[in-house]
Copies of this chain bind each other. A is one copy, B any other.
């Protein structure tokens, strides 16, 4: 679960990190997710350490939150459903679930605010996707490249989570998956890639209306 290089894992350092992360998470939860309401001295008191420990180790609240975010959003285990479509679908479902909640959204913002955390996380994502691809290759399937998976599925979803107020998922998860996986066959030239026939959208609520918006 820990991203930090721990030269002495299991030691005092690890205990402090865990205590601080837990304390911060508790305090944020108690404040309804409002980050600006919690302070480092508060976290330190709850965690049973002195503030200077946190300042020296993490720098400021933003970086502490970013570190917690990357920790929290790690893809847990690689599913193995027997097929690429299954593996990707299973992973994506939990991925979207993690990120699309109001809490996940805030955690994502915490992470994106910090360059180091973001690139670190992307590395982990690439590794994870590669593992899934590896399994597919071993089965004799022909998986899309990591870049294609990122461009077609991951980027649009994360972008809409960051830039869109939609609470629910009009994220078109299954539509995007189909788009990604059906590529090699390249169905009927006209109406395939975008706006496929049988929609799986779940345009439940205040989604970002599929089409145009008002003009200035």
Q: Tell me, yes or no, whether A181 is within 8 Å of chain B by CB.
A: no
**A26 at the B interface (CB under 8 A):** no
Known A-B contacts A154-B159, A155-B156, A186-B190; the reply to A213 vs B123 at CB < 8 A is yes
Q: Give the chain B neighbours of A121 by CB distance below 8 A.
A: 163
Give the CA-CA distance A216 to B105 in the complex, in Å. Answer: 27
Which residues from chain B contact A151 at a C-beta distance below 8 Å?
156, 194
Question: Which of the candidate stretches A14-22, A89-97, A141-149 sits at the interface with the other chain?
Answer: A141-149
A212 at the interface (CB under 8 A from B): yes
Contacts of A60 in B (CB 8 A): 36
Least distance between A131 CB and chain B CB atoms (Å): 6
Q: Given A115-B109, A186-B193, check contact A214 B127 (CB 8 Å).
A: yes
Partner of A186, one of B113, B134, B186, B215: B186
Contact A131 B36 (CB under 8 A): no
Chain B minimum-CB-distance residue to A115: B109
Residue interface mask A111-147, B partner, CB < 8 A = 1: 0111100110111011100110110000000001111
A215 touches B134 (CB 8 A): yes
Give the contacting residue for A213; candidates B112, B127, B163, B183; CB below 8 A: B127
Whether A109 contacts B113 in the complex (CB less than 8 A), given A145-B194, A155-B159, A212-B146, comes out as: yes
Is A192 close to B, CB under 8 A? yes
Task: List 27 interface pairs A-B (beta carbons < 8 Å), by A numbering.
Answer: A106-B115, A109-B112, A109-B115, A112-B162, A115-B165, A119-B163, A122-B163, A122-B208, A123-B213, A125-B163, A126-B212, A127-B216, A130-B213, A130-B214, A130-B215, A145-B195, A145-B212, A147-B211, A150-B156, A150-B159, A151-B156, A155-B156, A155-B159, A156-B156, A183-B193, A184-B190, A186-B186
Binding site for B on A (CB under 8 A): 36, 59-60, 62, 105-106, 109, 112-115, 118-119, 121-123, 125-127, 130-131, 133-134, 144-148, 150-151, 154-156, 158-160, 162-165, 183-186, 189-190, 192-195, 208, 210-216
